[in-house]
Amino acid sequence: MDIHEYQAKEVLASFGVVSPDGALAYSPEQAAYRSRELGGERWVVKAQVHAGGRGKAGGVHVCDSDTAIYDACEKLFGAKLVTHQTGPEGMGVYRVYVEKAVAIAREIYLGFVLDRTSQRVMIVASSEGGMEIEEISAEKPESIVRATVEPAVGLREFQCRQIAFKLGVDAGLVQQMVRTLQGCYRAFTELDATMVEINPLVITADDQVVALDAKMTFDDNALFRHPQISELRDKSQEDPRESRAADRGLNYVGLDGNIGCIVNGAGLAMATMDTIKLAGGEPANFLDIGGGATPDRVAKAFRLVLSDKKVQAILVNIFAGINRCDWVAEGVVQVLREIEVDMPVVVRLAGTNVEQGQKILAASGLPIIRATTLNQAAERVVQAWQNDQAQGVNMRAAS
């Protein structure tokens, strides 16, 4: 789960990480008022969306009056901010963060991520702050500093000092860097984060170490332990399909294809998508219905896939171990009788109670295309989709 910049700064502030004074606004009028509350002569207005690259996309404005703030917010509110991370559809702007501007002397990149190879928290830092880490890696890889943290002892002060010196931080500011690094690490571990990124972490003209931007991502599976973090979720920034699936206990990732997939098991779901691609089709989603595929759960998955307007054919691929093929078949029949589905549906069942499942599908009288292997299922769903599209073209031509 991602959270907004202002939320990340509030979380990190509770762990001793310093950031500029700022306030949230939900309208141009409120944003202008916030600047007067904060005081000062210059402010930065930032669109709050779950995406990087906001500055290049016009989502960050430096203003020197409340009138300029109002005008900037007039353009931002209700607009779609398109960055390299959002895709062409962009993300809606419904709130902005107004922050006092600071005089920047240096910019540093700082990130904490889980390195699955070493099974440790890895710190990635660079003296080239303000750039995306991908750009830094490509253009100035020699500037990157890496360090792993031994979980038994945590992040020690000597490691923080080593990182600070490698970044060229003045000796008088090292202790502030130590406090910032340790605060980020504590937030990462105590709140079950999967990423903490400050870009840029700046050294100001008056020698303060300040987080000018902040991003945090949390492990969804651990949110039950942190209700205060779970409450920060903003569904307006999420793919509605993925949000709806998560609320129903399903694992869903939306893609750009047109063949919907309903599969049990992450590995089988990935194999199914690959096989569809090999057969000449494009998967519309990754959907893992999990181990307990009751008829009701299968029906929920079907409705979720059908809610995607891009889906033009559906492939159900179940290898039953814990699951039962007859349950899956009942769920498929249930939803096809309740909802009018005007697209091809291919079902491949294997494993526990497969004979009973096949009998349920056959006895339903519904136009379900059956398959016995994954390759056969992928070929049949792609062929059925192509035939369906060709038939639609012929009908339009005849009319």
Cα gap 245→251, rounded to integer Å: 6
C-alpha distance across the termini of the chain, in Å: 49
Q: How many residues does the chain have?
A: 399
* Torsions phi, psi for 150 (to 5 deg): -75, 115
- Supply the pLDDT for residue 394: 54
SS3 (DSSP) at 396? helix
Cα gap 206→105, rounded to integer Å: 9
- Supply the pLDDT for residue 221: 86
Q: Which amino acid is at 123?
A: I
Burial (0-12, 13-18, 19+ Cβ within 10 Å), 31: buried
Q: Which amino acid is at 102?
A: V
Q: Which amino acid is at 92?
A: G
Per-residue pLDDT of the chain (399 residues; tens, 9 = 90+): 899 999 999 999 999 999 999 999 999 999 999 999 999 999 999 999 988 888 888 899 999 999 999 999 999 998 988 887 777 878 889 999 999 999 999 999 999 999 988 899 999 999 988 777 888 888 888 889 999 999 999 999 999 999 999 999 999 999 999 999 999 999 999 999 999 999 999 999 999 999 999 999 999 889 999 999 999 988 877 777 777 777 666 778 888 899 999 988 889 999 999 999 999 999 999 988 876 666 777 788 888 888 888 899 999 998 887 778 888 888 889 888 888 888 999 999 998 899 999 999 999 999 999 999 999 999 999 999 999 888 765 554 555
Which listed residue (197, 242, 330, 379) is catalytic?
Answer: 197
Does 97 participate in catalysis according to the annotation?
no
Q: Are 32 and 70 in contact (CB under 8 A)?
A: yes
Helices (H), the chain: 5-13, 28-38, 66-76, 133-139, 157-166, 174-190, 227-230, 240-247, 266-278, 295-306, 325-338, 354-363, 374-398
Q: Residue holding tokens 């890895």? A: 122
* Torsions phi, psi for 97 (to 5 deg): -115, 125
Which listed residue (97, 109, 185, 252) is catalytic?
Answer: 109
Q: Which residues are annotated as a binding site?
A: 46, 53-55, 99, 102, 107, 199, 213, 264
* Torsions phi, psi for 351 (to 5 deg): 105, -145
This prediction's pTM? 0.76
- Supply the pLDDT for residue 149: 96
Does 132 participate in catalysis according to the annotation?
no
Cα gap 41→35, rounded to integer Å: 9
Q: Which residues are annotated as a binding site for Mg(2+)?
A: 199, 213
* Torsions phi, psi for 43 (to 5 deg): -135, 160
Q: Which residues are annotated as a binding site for substrate?
A: 264
Domains of the chain: 1-19+103-237 (3.30.470.20), 21-101 (3.30.1490.20), 240-390 (3.40.50.261)
Paired tokens of 203: 């050294």
Paired tokens of 233: 């979720």
